[in-house]
Every structure is written in C-alpha cells, then in structure tokens.
Structure 1
Amino acid sequence: MIFPGKTIFFVILLLGSLLPGLSARAQRVQTREEYIDRYKSIAIAHMERYGIPASITLAQGILESDCGNSWLSMQSNNHFGIKCKRDWRGDKVYYDDDAKGECFRSYPSVEASYEDHARFLDGQPRYDSLFAYAPTDYRSWARGLKAAGYATAPDYAQRLVRIIEESDLYLLDRENGDALYSRRHASGIGTDEWFTGQSSVEGAATLAGEGIDYDNYRVTINAHDGYNVYRTNGVSYVLAREGDTYERIGKSFRVSARNLRKFNDVESSAQPMTGEMVYIERKRNRWEGNAMTHTVKEGETLFSLGQSYGIRTKSLRRMNKLRDRHAELVRGQQIRIR
C-alpha cells in the first residue's frame, strides 16, 4: 500500500528525473530566423574586424550547429564544429563525427565560439587565400572553405550558399546590412527589387565586381560619405583625403583600422598620405586582367605595384620568387602579376 505522502514523494522524484530531458527538448525549438536574429550582430562585427563575410559566418553556424539545436552546440557551445587540434588549451568534449570519440573544443559561451571561429580562419595559413575575395563574394568564400578542407561533406559549399540565399544573409555583407536585412524581412517584397530601390549602385552584380573591365585601372562604382569608391582588379578602394587616418576611413566604411592596414600591406602604426590609395577590401592574389607581366618603371616597388594592381604584396613576392618584400626592383625588369 502506498500512502499519500509517499505518492507525492514519488511524483516529485519522477518530475526531477524528467525535467532535464524536457529542458533539453525545449531548447531544440530554436528556428533559423531566431538564430539569425540572435547572432547576426556578432557576425557583422567579425566581418568588420576580420574581413569574413557575415553571411558565411552565420551560414556555417546554422549548418554546423543545426541552428544551435545540435548535441555538440548545446553541450559545448561549439557552433562551428571546430576540433581540438594540438594547440588547443581550453575545455574539451568528445563526440562521434568522422571518427568515433573525436575531440571538440568547448566554450563558456556561444560568443566565445564565434570569436574562436573568426580567429581560427584569420590565423590558419590554409585559409589565407579566402581573404583575397571581397566580403560580398560569399560564393567564392563557400567554395574556398571547402577547398581548404574545413569540412568533409562533398556538397559543403552548396549547402552554405543555399542557406545564404534562402535566408537573404548576403544582405548582411553590404553597407548597413543589418538594416537592409531587417527591412527586407519586414517588407515582404522581393530582395533584388527592394535593394535596387535603396541603392545608387545598379544592382548586386556591380557590388560583387562582375562586369568590371579588369584592364581599366580605375573604375568608379559608387560614392559614400564624401569618398568616391573605385575598383581595381575587382577590389574597392578610396583616395585618402587631407588629414585622413585609417581610423577615420574605417569608421566611414565599417572596417577596423587594423583590417585596413592589413588590406593595404602597411605597418601597424602607418597612416595614409593625401591622395594615397586605401583599399577597403582585401586585395587579390593575382591580376585578373589579360596582362601576365609588368615592366618596372623607375622608382617602382613591390608595394607600389601591389597597390596599383590590387594584388597582395606577399603574393607578388611569391610569384616572382623574391625573398624580401623590400627587394629593389630594376627599371625594365619583368614582374609577374598573374
């Protein structure tokens, strides 16, 4: 015979054993839209700081964590499936992935996972080539991540692109992207139709650099905050005004001064001179035009050629097998640019 007091005790015991499972299941209701709203500001901030497209960051988070609902993301706040590697000194969890019981990084918060993801891509040499792509070129970023071995799934790039295009995440990669995305999802009209009405640029293809004559050194594509925005080799840049600093230019274009200096291959304390080209996107690894080489003129350097052609200085150095970025160039010397 079970007395009433014992009945209450067993009910409490039963509820106590069920609540953790109920709580875990309740966490699995997060939708893709809720996930985007919760983390898009972090993705945009990391785009400005590191140059990684916000659309790519969010698409990877959505795919790798199942919108924050996967076991790994709930147990470890790991939203990007980053494994421990030999240099990891933080907490760990073990999970069956490509092999049984693999070691994955564990974080104190989702924000810490996002920060580690940005540093992971920024600091690993095998991902260097990705930063030659514009932040608006999410398709190349997706293909590049797959090519660099970020994931083993053969259709990884296609999955990322599908998520980005289904959810209009590419809007977040553009200037005032948060507002563009929010207005688009509040308006209910077609994305391209709405964006065309909001922009002085004739459509998204121009922003991505498509249709540009790469053999034309200076193509004006837009104006912003008093700056004419030009494009060379598919990379956007402005001309520094009198008294400009990287900090001031960065504030106008939502790019950190640190990244501007990185994009322009200059030292951490450098400031631009009046009229100097300042790239607001990462330069490319080679010239995309028809020319194969450049004939050096008096006074030209690897740095000046890189700025003229929109090519990273270290890429020029590697193509031409020069050990020193400050190597002296001789008039008439042939320098490979692709």
Structure 2
Amino acid sequence: MSNPTWLIPASSRTLLLTFDAFGTLFHPRLPVPEQYAAVAHQFGLSRTTITPDKLETAFRDTFRAQMHQYPNYGRADVLRGQYGGPRQWWEEVIRGSFGRVLSAESGETRPEHPKDNVPDSLVEALLDRFASSEGYALYDDVLPFFRRMRKLKSAHKWSFDRIIVGVISNSDDRVPAVLKSLGLTVGDMRADQDQSSMDLPGFEVRSIKQDDARKHDKDHEDRNLDLDIDMVITSYEAGQEKPHRLIFDVARRQSLKVSRPWLTSKTRFRSVHVGDDFKKDYQAARDAGWESYLLARDNSAVHGAGVKEFPDLLKLADKLDIFP
C-alpha cells in the first residue's frame, strides 16, 4: 500500500469523527465458536458433542436465518409490541446454534425443543460474556490512539476548535458496555430515531433521559475532555443498518446535541467515518456525504485505486491533521 499524501484540512473548526465498532475497535477475544464451546463445557454439555467445528457451522446458519427473519434485532416487530428485542434475538441464536448441533448428533432433522437442551444459565453466561472484555479485546492500536487523543485534548493541541468522537455500529445496545469494559470512557448520547431509544427494550440500563437536554448538555460539557467516545449510535436504536444513510444522518443530528449550544443545525462541520468494511463503512459514509477512511485490518483485501485506507489507527491519526 502506498503512503497517502492527503490530509483532512482544518478549515472547518469542528470535527465529527466516528468509528465502526466490531472489526474496527474490537474483535472476539477468541473465535466465537471456541468461546461458545468452552462455556457450554463449563455447564456440563458434552465435549465430544459440542465442538468448535460443529458450532461454527451451526452458529453461521442460525445467525443468517435470524438476520433474515428478524432484521436489525427485530426492531420493526419490537415497535409493534410483537418481539422482545436484542435479548430475545440473541437468546434464540444461542439456543438455535446449540440446538442444531444437538439435533444433528441425535439424528433429528431439527431441534423440536432447543430450550429443553440448553440451560438458561448457559444462555445468560454467553449474553454477559459478549457484553464485556470476557468476550472481546481491543485491537493493539486502539488504546494508544485514544491515549494520544486524551493528551492532546488536555493540552488543547488540535487543529479543530472541538472534536466529537462517536461510534456507528450495526449492533445492539451492548456496544457501550463492551467499550467501557475494555477501558474506554463513553458518554451517554445515543440514537433517538422513531421512538426514543430509552423506550426500546435492550441490554443497556440508562442513567439519564435523553429529553432532559439541559442537564445532559451541562454534564457533557463538564466531562467532554474526559470522554474517549461522546456518543454511540447503534443500528437497533437508530432504525437502520449501514450502509443505509439514515444511521449516518442520526449520528450527525445527535452530534449537535453533544456540543449544544456551540453547534446548531446551521453549523458546518467536517464529518469523518472510519471502518473496516468497504461497503458498509467506507462507501456508505461517502454516499451519505461524509468523508471516509478504510481501516485495512485484513491486509489481504484488494480495493480500487483512490481508496483512502490505513493499516492502523495511529497511521490514520498522523493524517487527520488533528495532531500537530
């Protein structure tokens, strides 16, 4: 990969900088099938029956079927009062994955009663595991990147008057818990598309109401320099998954609330998104009118000429013109 020579100019004094989460900031600590199998063995399921290889196929098939039947964690059905949201969604994935393996072992064509075969305590253990550092780890460049951001913020050594950092993720509302568990400080701002995200059933317990704007703005102003990430916008709460432009529009709108009263709907600011997926991050952000940068975690991927990409966040930081 050739060294890029372009910079993001600092003519716009406010920068909205967002990152994808999974595959960009963090990754599974071990492959998911290995973690599922290890936890299952702790709860007494057979080591010969429940293996990572069997779970890899079962999980993939169950996950795809669940995404097709209940896209975006069943959000549309949740709003109609017909579904329980991400917790139910993932419980069904977990039970379905183990159910496929157990039914294949017993010669059944499909698991009739997967709930009977999978202990509730196993399901809860996996839900908790993948909401924390037990299940995930940061990429090696992430903490150094945010440490550099903190240092420069405290010294007021950036080229923009203010920087808003966010996460835009095709995920459920466990993302903030994962990021916090991994050592990052995360603000309270979330999405509010169609129905307040406070009212959607999910994993996260909120400490404030988003419509309590004045108190939130004052608190955020006081804590802004201490936060690594000001806001987290998940597809479940925003209403659409990337590559749909709606999730980027929601992020831009919520960024105005983060920096109220300095920013208004008439404020012009630079919006930049960074992610590892060419279609869902790089191209989607460009289609939404943002600048975008591809984080090439998988060096084997080949992209066309002119794609702005970096191998790690520190290389990206050098070019963002945030830093002196």
User: Greater relative contact order (Cα 8 A, min sep 6): structure 1 or 2?
Assistant: 2
Q: TM-score, normalised to structure 2's length?
A: 0.31
Select the structure of larger CA radius of gyration. Answer: 1
**More helix as a share of residues:** 1
Q: TM-score, normalised on structure 1?
A: 0.30
